[in-house]
C-alpha cells in the first residue's frame, strides 16, 4: 500500500522534514538539486510529490495525494471540501496583514469611508476581512510581489503574509492591521483515510508527537 504526501518546495518541505523523521521517514532526494517531482523515501510505502503550494489542496481533494501540508492561507482560499484537517502542524508560521505605504493615512481613509484599492493574492481572506469591518474595497488580484502595488500606484493597500517584517520595511510599507495568524495544516483525503486507515493513523500520530511548540 503506497502513501503519497504532497508538499511544496521551500519552507513547507524543509519544515516538514522533522515531522517525517518522527515517523521514521527520510526523503532520499533534495528538491533543490533534483528535477524529480516524485521523491522516494527510505520507506517503500511512502513517497513525496512536489506541487505548487496552491495546488496541494487540489491534489489531496481529488486523491492525487493521500496527505498534504498546506498553509492556512492557501486552505482558506481553496476551501476544505472533502478533506480532513486533523492537525495544526505549527510550521511555516506567519500572519496575514494589511499594509500600506508609510505616507498613506489608512485610518483616515477608513474614517472618511473612501473606497480603498487593495492588491492581494488572497482575495477570499481580504474580501471577508473588509466585509466584516464594513470597509468598501476594490480588490485587485495579483499572484506575487504584492509589496510593489502601493509603490507603483496600482493599489492603496495590500493584504499579504508577514513574518519578520523585513519585506515590508525594505519597500517602505507599514503593517496597519493584523488579520489572522497563519500556520500549516495536515490535510488528509477522506477516501484514503478509510482505505489506508492504519498506516495513515500511524503517520498522523507520529506527526502529532513532533509538532513544534
**Binding site residues, ligand ATP, CB under 6 A:** 8, 10-12, 52-53, 71, 73-74, 92-94, 144, 161, 163, 182, 184
Smallest separation, CB 73 to ligand ATP (Å): 5
Give which of ligand ATP, ligand PRP, none residue 33 binds (C-beta under 5 to 8 Å, depending on kind). Answer: none
Give which of ligand PRP, ligand ATP, none residue 71 binds (C-beta under 5 to 8 Å, depending on kind). Answer: ligand ATP
Binding ligand PRP by CB under 6 A: which of 160, 187, 196, 200?
Answer: 160
Contact (Cβ atoms closer than 8 angstroms) between residue 209 and residue 135? no
Q: Which is nearer to ligand ATP, 116 or 146 (CB)?
A: 146
Number of residues that bind ligand PRP (CB under 6 A): 9
Contact (Cβ atoms closer than 8 angstroms) between residue 97 and residue 162? yes
Binding ligand PRP by CB under 6 A: which of 58, 167, 171, 190?
Answer: 167
Alpha-carbon gap, residue 205 to 147, rounded angstroms: 39
Residue 163 lies near ligand PRP (rule: CB under 6 A): yes
Q: Which is nearer to ligand ATP, 11 or 127 (CB)?
A: 11
Q: Which is nearer to ligand ATP, 52 or 202 (CB)?
A: 52
Residue 53 lies near ligand PRP (rule: CB under 6 A): no
Residues that bind ligand PRP (CB under 6 A): 144, 160-167
Amino acid at each position: 500500500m503506497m502513501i503519497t504526501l504532497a508538499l511544496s518546495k521551500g519552507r513547507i518541505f524543509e519544515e516538514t522534514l522533522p515531522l517525517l523523521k518522527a515517523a521514521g521517514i527520510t526523503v532520499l532526494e533534495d528538491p533543490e538539486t533534483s528535477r524529480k517531482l516524485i521523491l522516494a523515501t527510505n520507506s517503500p510505502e511512502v513517497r513525496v510529490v512536489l506541487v505548487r503550494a496552491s495546488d496541494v489542496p487540489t491534489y489531496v481533494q481529488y486523491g492525487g495525494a493521500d496527505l498534504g501540508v498546506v498553509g492556512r492561507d492557501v486552505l482558506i482560499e481553496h476551501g476544505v471540501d472533502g478533506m480532513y484537517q486533523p492537525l495544526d502542524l505549527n510550521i511555516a508560521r506567519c500572519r496575514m496583514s494589511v499594509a500600506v505605504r508609510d505616507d498613506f493615512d489608512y485610518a483616515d481613509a477608513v474614517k472618511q469611508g473612501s473606497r480603498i484599492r487593495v492588491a492581494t493574492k488572497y482575495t477570499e481572506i481580504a474580501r471577508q476581512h473588509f466585509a466584516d469591518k464594513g470597509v468598501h474595497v476594490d480588490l485587485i488580484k495579483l499572484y506575487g510581489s504584492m509589496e510593489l502595488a502601493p509603490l507603483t500606484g496600482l493599489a492603496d493597500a495590500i493584504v499579504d503574509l508577514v513574518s519578520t517584517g523585513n519585506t515590508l520595511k525594505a519597500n517602505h510599507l507599514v503593517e496597519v492591521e493584523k488579520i489572522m495568524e497563519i500556520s500549516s495544516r495536515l490535510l488528509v483525503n477522506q477516501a484514503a483515510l478509510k482505505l489506508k486507515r492504519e498506516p495513515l493513523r500511524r503517520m498522523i500520530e507520529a506527526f502529532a508527537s513532533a509538532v513544534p511548540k
